[in-house]
């Protein structure tokens, strides 16, 4: 199961508002949108928001008013929204890089995504069953027919990104420009993980509340010493701060010297 980065999503957007990168009147497209995203945008006071989901009426979205579109094939023009944002959606896509490309293409200023991070510690956590590789719960919630990869009943692989991977991907999308990317991460292993068989073997035979307390302590400890490797991972692609590569020729400015009469 992918852990929720709900708090991180709202923190990133609030921070962008505080720094005036995001303005409440800017146009925002929310990809993979659900009622949760609507709640966030309402709380933040964003006024020009378009919600999109492949299955707006599904239990994973519950936002029937959202536009229906596949994140891999958006019809919007290049740069048609100031910001394109998405929470917990890319890892549901069969081609996460292509879906991220579409977000990048149609954004004018920033792309914000909150996903799960791949890191050495996350791989250890995976080995102990603290985090999973395929998302079965979402398909169970969808009655076995939806909630998985591209909204189907096939549980999606939880594609976890590294910082370097995001940077390389953006550099490949837009090689003519340097594009800064801001990252934010934290550990948030869900306390429900304390009930899995893998966790039982790691944490011993105590009751569920005791195991949940241990997972909370684990999150606290990991955030103290290795926050950078945290499973919750948000990134903001600062297209607004992008610059042409130094090797791209700039049109010379022609100055015409005044000839004295
Ligand atoms: C885990 S839910 C996240 C929903 C919401 N953003 C939230 O955080 O509560 C993932 C959503 O992505 C949508 N989705 C899956 N594949 C998609 C695709 N190829 N294009 C657009 N949306 C897709 C699903 O319908 C689902 O609602």
The band of 211, judged by pLDDT with boundaries at 50, 70 and 90, is confident
* Domain assignment of residue 109, yes or no: yes
Ligand 1 centroid–CA 43 distance in Å is 21
Tell me the DSSP string of 120-176: HHHHHHHHTTSS-SB-HHHHHHTTTSSSSGGGSSSPPB---B-HHHHHHHHHHH-TT
Taking 90 as the threshold, does the pLDDT of residue 59 lie above it?
Answer: yes
* Domain assignment of residue 222, yes or no: no
The band of 261, judged by pLDDT with boundaries at 50, 70 and 90, is low
Domains of the chain: total: 1
CB of 34 shorter than 6 A to ligand 1: yes
Question: Residue 193: what pLDDT?
Answer: 60
* Domain assignment of residue 29, yes or no: yes
Q: What is the mean pLDDT of the chain?
A: 91
Question: Residue 27: what pLDDT?
Answer: 99
Taking 70 as the threshold, does the pLDDT of residue 136 lie above it?
Answer: yes
Tell which wins on pLDDT, 127 or 194.
Answer: 127
Residue to probe by mutation, ligand 1, list 53, 56, 73, 74, most atoms within 8 Å of CB: 53
Which atom number of ligand 1 is nearest to the Cα of residue 94?
Answer: 19
CB of 151 shorter than 6 A to ligand 1: yes
Q: How far apart are the first and last CA of the chain?
A: 80
* Domain assignment of residue 197, yes or no: no
**H or E element at residue 12:** helix 6-18
* Gap between the Cα atoms of 155 and 139, Å rounded: 6
CB of 54 shorter than 6 A to ligand 1: yes
Q: Minimal CA–CA distance to 104: which of 62, 167, 51?
A: 167
CB of 88 shorter than 6 A to ligand 1: yes
**Does residue 42 contact residue 15 with C-beta atoms inside 8 Å?**
no
Taking 70 as the threshold, does the pLDDT of residue 201 lie above it?
Answer: no
The average pLDDT across 234-243 equals 98
Question: Residue 1: what pLDDT?
Answer: 47
* Domain assignment of residue 216, yes or no: no
**Residue 42: CATH number of its domain:** 3.40.50.150
Range of the domain at 168: 6-116+134-188+230-242
Ligand 1 centroid–CA 159 distance in Å is 14
Encode pLDDT of 79-108 as tens digits.
999 999 999 999 999 999 999 999 999 999
* Domain assignment of residue 121, yes or no: no
Encode pLDDT of 37-56 as tens digits.
999 999 999 999 999 999 99
Taking 70 as the threshold, does the pLDDT of residue 121 lie above it?
Answer: yes
Encode pLDDT of 242-258 as tens digits.
999 998 887 766 666 77
* Domain assignment of residue 208, yes or no: no
Question: Residue 195: what pLDDT?
Answer: 59
Which atom number of ligand 1 is nearest to the Cα of residue 150?
Answer: 16
* Domain assignment of residue 44, yes or no: yes
* Gap between the Cα atoms of 173 and 193, Å rounded: 36
């Amino acid at each position: 199961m992918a852990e929720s980065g709900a708090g991180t999503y709202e923190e990133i957007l609030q921070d962008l508002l505080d720094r005036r990168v995001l303005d409440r009147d800017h146009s925002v497209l929310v990809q993979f949108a659900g009622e949760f995203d609507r709640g966030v945008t309402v709380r933040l006071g964003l006024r020009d928001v378009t919600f999109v989901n492949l299955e707006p009426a599904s239990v994973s979205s519950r936002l029937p008013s959202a536009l229906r579109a596949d994140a891999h094939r958006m019809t919007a023009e290049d740069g048609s929204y100031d910001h394109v944002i998405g929470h917990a959606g890319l890892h549901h896509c069969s081609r996460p890089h292509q879906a991220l490309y579409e977000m990048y293409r149609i954004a004018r200023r920033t792309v914000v995504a909150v996903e799960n991070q791949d890191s050495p510690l996350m791989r250890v956590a995976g080995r102990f069953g603290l985090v999973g590789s395929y998302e079965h719960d979402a398909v169970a919630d969808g009655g076995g027919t939806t909630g998985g990869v591209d909204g189907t009943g096939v549980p999606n692989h939880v594609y976890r990104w590294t910082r370097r991977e995001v940077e390389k991907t953006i550099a490949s999308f837009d090689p003519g420009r340097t594009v800064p990317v801001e990252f934010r991460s934290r550990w948030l292993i869900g306390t429900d993980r304390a009930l899995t068989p893998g966790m039982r073997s790691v944490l011993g035979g105590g009751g569920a509340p005791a195991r949940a307390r241990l997972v909370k302590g684990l999150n606290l400890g990991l955030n103290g010493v290795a926050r950078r490797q945290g499973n919750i991972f948000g990134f903001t692609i600062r297209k607004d701060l992008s610059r042409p590569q130094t090797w791209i020729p700039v049109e010379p400015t022609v100055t015409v010297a005044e000839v004295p009469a």
